[in-house]
Structure 1
Amino acid sequence: MLKQIVACCVLALTATAPLAAQPECGTLGLAFYELGALYYQKPDGSWAGIDKDVVDELAKRTGCQFQTTLESRVRIWTQLSTGKLDMSVSGIPTPEREKFARFIPYFTTRNYVLQLNSLPASAGTPDGFLAIPDYKVAVVKSFKHGTDYDAWLDKLRAQGRVFDAPDFRSVVRLLKIGRVQAVLALPTSWVPVLEQEGMTAEVRVLDWSPKDSVVHGLILSRERVPPATADRLAKAIQDMRDDGTLLAIFKRHVGAEMAAALLNY
């Protein structure tokens, strides 16, 4: 009888050994920031968005627990660079940022031009818009939009035709009240905001820089997140891409037409 009990214990320990050998993920401090379809508050006060769905799915697949907060992007980058935050979402890598953070890509996008449908067809090109002196454009202050768009904006700025707004909702409202005739935006920014402002049917989307690509990824502190945890999260993101989960999340928030383009990284 004693031999049988010992044998059972040995089998139980053997069966659980691989699981025990796996590195613990633990709890990670993660900061969201509010922006368009990435992370937004619904009318009932709850939060939704691409980034929230990605993090919820990562929690299911990795066993990591995420202690989340809502912060400004400025505070997020400051906390990451000073070793006071574990991770954040939808960040754009640069050489400076890669000194203190690892990036795990999960979507790419680029800026488009949104114009009022009432504008003449001649305004539908960069040169055509520039040729109409009364037309103005609004952008979010300090944003970079890519080489082509920034050069176009420089020409407009020289003529006093650019409004710099503090956030994207303010940009859309300038368009809505007619202070500007166009805005620059990412698909992940405009979809929910246009819907909330009742403007979805009032604008046309123009792609003036189809070769641009801005890759966004999870941002992991090099100081605070161990390589084994980073590898676990990277594998989960790859699995979500392979099994269609990422595509389903994108479709939920930006529609089928834009969703597929977000995976072209």
Structure 2
Amino acid sequence: MKTRLFTLPIIILCFSTVVSAKDCGRRFRIIVNNYAPLFDVNNEGHVYGMTFDFMNELSHRLGCVVSQAPMDAPRMHDDFKNWRADIVGLVIPSEKFRASGEYVPVYTTVRKLLVNKAYYDPSRTVADYIKDGRIKFGDQIGTSFFLKPDEKSQLFGSGRIVEYPNPAIGYRQVASGRVQAMFTSPVVYNYYQKAIPAFVQNVVAVPDPKYEMQGGIYLSLRRISKSEAEQIKKAISDMKKDGTLRRIVAKYASAEDMNYYKDL
């Protein structure tokens, strides 16, 4: 199915079976990425995704009502810094969120380098592709979180970054050869290699175990109290201890790529 771009928040009410939403007395507004496989709507109108499932489970354990508002990265940054949301996630650590929130890590994984087969060479390293002046990289507007600072400086400085509003466009561009490479996460890669038929035939995915990155959430410094923050952290810790977090991620990552997901 096609990835949807949401212009209005979708409100999802989730109640705990242990503690009622009334007992919690709190409604959390959570802003999330608006693309599959993190948050999307299928052809039957049902919302699904790794972030969606994670936030639902968090709501269940807290016994609170949550509204999940899907949006693109620039809007996420704006909403959070202007105190219009309690939580943002799942996201990679970012300076744009740090000033307004406390970061709580949820898992660790690696990035994947996607290379159009016309430019792929198994003897080359990730650094070799970065240095190759022939290769343009796709990148999502408002993110650049898959790039190291020196890589970002080199690619932007040489005009070798093509920005796009969502991953679906980037995946189609690298599959068609309009850009020659891009970085992504294992979960997003697992989704698009199935969603875009030409992808597997035209693109090679190279894991980069040397580049570890965290996925987590930011808690608003102004809207989340210290006691609420501790409850949220405990709920996440409990999700790891009882295997729930691993089961959620395993729904969206391939069995092979689960080896790259740590701290679950």
Q: Is the CA contact 1:146–1:212 (under 8 Å) kept in the aligned structure 2?
A: no
1:1-265 equivalences in 2 (<5 Å): 24-94=24-94, 97-117=97-117, 119-121=119-121, 124-126=124-126, 129=129, 134-142=134-142, 143-147=144-148, 151-152=150-151, 155=154, 161-199=160-198, 201-202=200-201, 203-208=203-208, 210-264=209-263
Deviation of 1:67 after TM superposition, in Å, equals 2.0
Tell me how large the CA RMSD over aligned residues is.
Answer: 3.0
Letter matched to residue 246 of structure 2: L
- For the 8 Å contact 2:79–2:85, the answer to whether it is kept is yes
Pair 1:161–1:217, CA change in 2 (3 A): closer
SS in structure 1 of the partner of residue 210 of structure 2: coil
- 2:89–2:217: 8 Å Cα contact kept in structure 1? yes
> Relative to 1, partners in 2 of residues 1:253 and 1:64: Cα closer, same or farther, differing over 3 Å?
same
**Superposed displacement of residue 131, structure 1:** 7.9
Any idea what the Cα deviations from partners look like across 1:174-195, whole Å, max 9, x if unmatched? 1222223322212233221232
Aligned residues: 242
The sequence identity of aligned pairs, in percent, is 21
Q: Structure 1 unaligned runs (5+)?
A: 1-18
Cα 1:127–1:235 shift into 2, 3 Å: closer
Report the TM-score, using the length of structure 1 for normalisation: 0.77
The 8 Å contact of residues 137 and 160 in structure 2, kept in 1 or not, is answered as: yes
Partner secondary structure for residue 204 of structure 1 = strand
SS of the residue aligned with 1:75? helix
Secondary structure (helix, strand or coil) at the match of 1:224 reads coil
What's the secondary structure of 2:34's corresponding residue?
Answer: coil
- Computing the radius of gyration over CA atoms, which structure comes out larger, 1 or 2? 1
Tell whether the 8 Å contact from 2:97 to 2:218 is kept in structure 1 after alignment. Answer: no
Seen in structure 2, the aligned counterparts of structure 1 residues 146 and 133 have a Cα distance that, compared at 3 Å, is closer
CA 121–45 in structure 1, closer or farther in 2 if over 3 Å, else same: same
Could you tell me whether the CA contact under 8 Å between 2:113 and 2:126 is conserved in 1? no
Moved more, 91-100 or 29-38: 91-100
Q: What do residues 229-261 of structure 1 show as CA deviations (whole Å, max 9, x unaligned)?
A: 221121111011111111111110112222342
> Which residue pairs with 2:9 in the alignment?
none
| 1:212 aligned counterpart, secondary structure | strand
Amino acid aligned to 1:249: I
Q: Which amino acid aligns with 1:171?
A: G
Deviations 1:14-65 (A, max 9, x none): xxxxx9xxx8352111222213422233233322111111111112222111
Query: Which one-letter code corresponds to 1:241 in the other structure?
Result: K
Alpha-carbon distance in 2 for matches of 1:41, 1:115? 29
Alpha carbons of structure 1 residues 28 and 242: separation in structure 2 relative to 1, 3 Å: same
Q: Look up the match of 1:16.
A: none
Deviation at 1:119, TM superposition (A): 4.5
Quick check: 1:86–1:221 contact (8 Å CA) kept in 2? yes
The alpha carbon displacement at 1:161 in A equals 4.3
Equivalent position amino acid for 2:191 in 1: P
Unaligned regions of 5+ residues in structure 2, if any? Answer: 1-18
